[in-house]
Amino acid sequence: MKPPGTRLRALAARLLPASTMDYLVDPAIADMQAEYEDASRRGLTWRKRWICIRDHFAFFKMIVAHGRTVTKMNVGWTPLRGLSLDVRLALRLLVKHIGLTVVGTVAMAFAICSGIVAFEFYTQFMHPALPLDGGARIVGIVMVDTANHAERPPTLHDFVAWRDAVTSVQDLAAYRDRNWNVIVGNAAPEPVAVAEISAATFRVVRERPVLGRPLVEADEKAGAPWVVLIGHDVWQSRFESDPNAIGREVRLGNVPHTIVGVMPEGFRFPLAHSFWVPLRLDPVNYPRQQSPALRVFGRLAPGATLQAAQPELTVLGATTAAAFPDTHAHLKPRVVPYIESIFRSFSADSATEVFWGNLLSVLLVFLVCGNVALLMFARAATRENEILVRAALGAGRGRIIGQLFVEALVLATVAALVAVTSAQLTWHALFAMVTENVFGNRIPFWLHSSVSPGTLLYAGFLTLVAAAIAGLLPGLKVTRGLGTRLRQSGPGGGGLRFGGIWTVLIVMQVAVMAIVPTPVIAIYGDVARWARAANAGLVPEQYLAATIAMDRDRVPGGAGATFQGRFTSATQELERRLETEPGVRGVTIATVLPLMDHPSRQIEVDEGGAALVDRSSSHRRVSSASIALDFFDVLDTPILSGRAFDSGDLRPGARTVIVNQSFAQVVFGGNNPIGRRLRYSDLTQQNAAGSVNEPWHQVVGVVGDFGIAPEERDSKRARVYHPLVPGGSYPLRMAVHPTGAPLLFASRLRSSARDVEPTLQISEVARFDQVAAAGARTMTLLFWLFLALAVVVMLLSLTGIYAVLSFSASRRTREVGIRVALGGGRRHVIALLFRRPLMQIGLGILIGLLVADRLSEGDMVRVIALYGCVVIAVSLLATLGPVRRALRIQPLDALRAE
């Protein structure tokens, strides 16, 4: 490693004369290195860093200061000295025109921030890169089903065949996901994702454990001891970074494993894993039709490419299809980049959407900076005399445009700093939202919630674009016909005019100002509806929700009746124990809990035995859930009519259901549904003759609507509840109603589960309202984004109006003076100056409100009308200053211009 200060010295060698190095730079850097070495010897890491930062900064200042002195002495490079003057002038203007600074900064920051977030989204989700050594050469192999153009994972038999035959992909490896309880010592069991993975993986990823050894081929042999490789995070949190962790025991499910290695920090391959066990599957144990599905991957051989590897796989695929037409007739292997083999959903359509999102954000930069350019132009117009004097003193057009560009660049740089800070926060929130919705709690290891350096470079590019638009456009406009204006100009009446483009821009801007709040109001309404729905007929903050599952035996065919029986008895025992705990009001079980997404199916009703004439009206989609007998009691939901479920409903052939009010309304038109019958009529379950084999279910009770997300369609609000038959469903959801705070009960729930059955998995433990909050959080984020957009647009519009009116007033000072001298009244002056701008504002508002009315749904007319009044009032407010200034014009002052 190079000693600290080496780069600083190289910089100094470029900037300073050689004679300076000996007495100025070298002693400084030598002292810093000595201090750094001293701190290193004493093991003071923080002090080393501090010395490095502090001294680099101090010496950099010294080099720059000395370099400037030398440059001054040698007269220096003239354009650079001019640039320094321009920057200082721009900084002074920032302070002088604080209004423009604030508005310009906020607007540009918003646009650049949008650009940063869109670009980060694009690079991370559309063009992700594996953060591994040579990650671009790691590939996956998927199976394409040509019959239905779908992709499916290869099987164990495919993997074994390819491993022995493929040469263009080295170290072919495979894994499959397992979900097991991990138990360390006496700690409560916790379900974790475990990768059953080939030993070859560690050659593919080129990563070595920081402790112990990786998995090796011998671990995959039948009868070898069960071993596990753990992640750095697990080593830190569960083993307190014990250097002697190798050899200790971890129970995964019901099997004890010996730790053989600890992987480095941040290593989560293949997806988001921290436990790796050997893939010990022998194809001999599985018939080809029941071969387990695997994810297959490897590293391209040296010199091989994706395109070169594909023909080899195609030939192998054709051979397998010929040998096993029953299973492989329509299957073709395909080599793809590793990430694409895991997530195919983020491509094609999504890529197009993200591209358009990116393009929109760039357009936003153009639009917003066009507005800022308008303000800059208005400011430049007030400085026309200064510009003319500069021109008279010999400044060329390029020099003046350059000055305006630097002014815009300084403003854009300030905005960029604000944008980068806010983009970090926005991206963090957006990342959390997207990953929660798409990946749950398993975020792929190649994604990260911080803005990447490449995106920061892009932000720099956007800043330059923003400065170019906001600086060059006014610069070109204001310097047009400079010579002519120099000859003709006088105070109060220069030659600058707003052109047609600016007029259109102002009208559009005002229109957008009127449109933007519509989605804000609509989203606010959605957020409010979410809150209302969460509270309708239920107090979700009082309940704890959890998902219950169980480790499956690690033997082929172990997922049969025995497993279901063990799961049922363990669940019932857990429920019984929890009910006897002090501080528990009730415990109940269902296949899906209120506020969660319910599965929906198509039903038909028995219309008194009459033939169903109109199938479309009698077939409806409704949502359904299977619930324990005490479900409504525990959730404090009364039966409105009919009866609740009892043990008789669990008898084979009983087939009773309870429906909610929406069901009674939508399906039975508000008539009493008690005693009526319904059955499922999904097309997939119809036989060839079109008749339906599903049995009829009789409605025995009606409950109120509760725990139904508001965005769901009316038909989906209709819900059918079935009695939960023991052993009939897996996994299950448990609802606990404790007397205290629900989340405090989570640890007791886990420990009770461990006591009942160590392999019982308790996951997704959350309050009811948190279960439903993901959608609400998305809405809230969208609401804030649109609100920010609305504020920026409104700010820009108001300042735009202000700038236009001020400009109009200042351009016609002399004319106003003459009119006032000739007896023109106030009203006449106002009409004269502001008729055109006010018409533009009026037109903009009208267009905006009409579009908003078309875009909005339901009873938004009053809101839009009210908002229209606000827009008009605020716009008039922006005219006050210029109107006052125009009315104060004295004829003598104006005529003195002659």
Q: Which chain residues interact with another protein by CB under 8 A?
A: 2-3, 5, 9, 20, 23-35, 37, 54-55, 58-59, 61-62, 65-66
Instruction: Please tell me the distance from the alpha carbon of residue 258 to that of residue 213, in angstroms, as a whole number.
Output: 12
Q: Least CB distance from residue 413 to another protein, whole Å?
A: 25
- Identity of the residue, 24 or 725, whose beta carbon is nearer to another protein in the bound complex: 24
Q: Least CB distance from residue 21 to another protein, whole Å?
A: 10
- Identity of the residue, 31 or 714, whose beta carbon is nearer to another protein in the bound complex: 31
Q: Dihedral sign for Cα 206, 207, 209, 210, please.
A: positive
- Identity of the residue, 1 or 348, whose beta carbon is nearer to another protein in the bound complex: 1
Instruction: Please tell me the distance from the alpha carbon of residue 751 to that of residue 834, in angstroms, as a whole number.
Output: 76
- Identity of the residue, 20 or 665, whose beta carbon is nearer to another protein in the bound complex: 20
Question: Which helix (H) or strand (E) element contains residue 262?
Answer: strand 255-262
Q: Least CB distance from residue 417 to another protein, whole Å?
A: 24
- Identity of the residue, 53 or 640, whose beta carbon is nearer to another protein in the bound complex: 53
- Identity of the residue, 61 or 615, whose beta carbon is nearer to another protein in the bound complex: 61
Q: CB of 690 within 8 A of CB of 682? A: no
Q: Least CB distance from residue 75 to another protein, whole Å?
A: 21
Instruction: Please tell me the distance from the alpha carbon of residue 825 to that of residue 499, in angstroms, as a whole number.
Output: 29
- Quick one: tokens of 246? 């190798």
- Identity of the residue, 9 or 176, whose beta carbon is nearer to another protein in the bound complex: 9
Q: Least CB distance from residue 260 to another protein, whole Å?
A: 38
Q: Least CB distance from residue 502 to another protein, whole Å?
A: 49
Q: Least CB distance from residue 55 to another protein, whole Å?
A: 6
- Quick one: tokens of 117? 């977030």
Q: Least CB distance from residue 31 to another protein, whole Å?
A: 4
Q: How far is CA 209 from CA 137, 264, 389, in A?
A: 21, 6, 71
- Quick one: tokens of 770? 């948190």
Contacts of 626 (CB under 8 A, 6+ apart): 590, 591, 721, 722, 723, 724, 725, 728, 729
- Quick one: tokens of 551? 């480790």
SS3 breakdown of the chain: % helix, strand, coil, rounded to 5? 55, 15, 30
Half-sphere exposure of 654 (CA within 13 A, CB side): 16
- Identity of the residue, 24 or 129, whose beta carbon is nearer to another protein in the bound complex: 24
Q: Least CB distance from residue 59 to another protein, whole Å?
A: 7
Q: Least CB distance from residue 54 to another protein, whole Å?
A: 7
- Pairing between β-strand 150-152 and β-strand 138-145 as defined by DSSP bridges: antiparallel
Cis preceding-peptide flag for 731 (omega within 30 of 0): yes
- Identity of the residue, 74 or 580, whose beta carbon is nearer to another protein in the bound complex: 74
- Identity of the residue, 1 or 689, whose beta carbon is nearer to another protein in the bound complex: 1
DSSP structure string for 182-251: EE-TTSPPEEEEEEEE-TTHHHHTT---SEE----GGGGSTTSPPEEEE-HHHHHHHHTT-TT-TT-EEE
- Identity of the residue, 58 or 102, whose beta carbon is nearer to another protein in the bound complex: 58
* Residue in 378, 367, 366 with CA at minimum distance from that of residue 99: 378
- Alpha helices, H only, 440-546: 453-467, 473-478, 482-488, 500-515, 517-535
Instruction: Please tell me the distance from the alpha carbon of residue 509 to that of residue 840, in angstroms, as a whole number.
Output: 10
Q: Least CB distance from residue 87 to another protein, whole Å?
A: 22
| Cα separation of the two ends of the chain | 74
Contacts of 701 (CB under 8 A, 6+ apart): 639, 640, 641, 642, 643, 644, 645, 658, 659, 674
- Quick one: tokens of 684? 């997939």
Q: CB of 821 within 8 A of CB of 847? A: no
Q: Least CB distance from residue 39 to another protein, whole Å?
A: 13
- Identity of the residue, 61 or 643, whose beta carbon is nearer to another protein in the bound complex: 61
Q: Least CB distance from residue 70 to another protein, whole Å?
A: 12
- Identity of the residue, 64 or 433, whose beta carbon is nearer to another protein in the bound complex: 64
Q: Least CB distance from residue 42 to another protein, whole Å?
A: 16
- Identity of the residue, 38 or 607, whose beta carbon is nearer to another protein in the bound complex: 38
Backbone angles phi, psi at 106, to 5 degrees: -60, -45
**What b-and-e string marks burial along 407-432, b requiring 16 or more CB atoms within 10 Å of the CB?**
bbbbbbbbbbebbbebbbebbebbbe
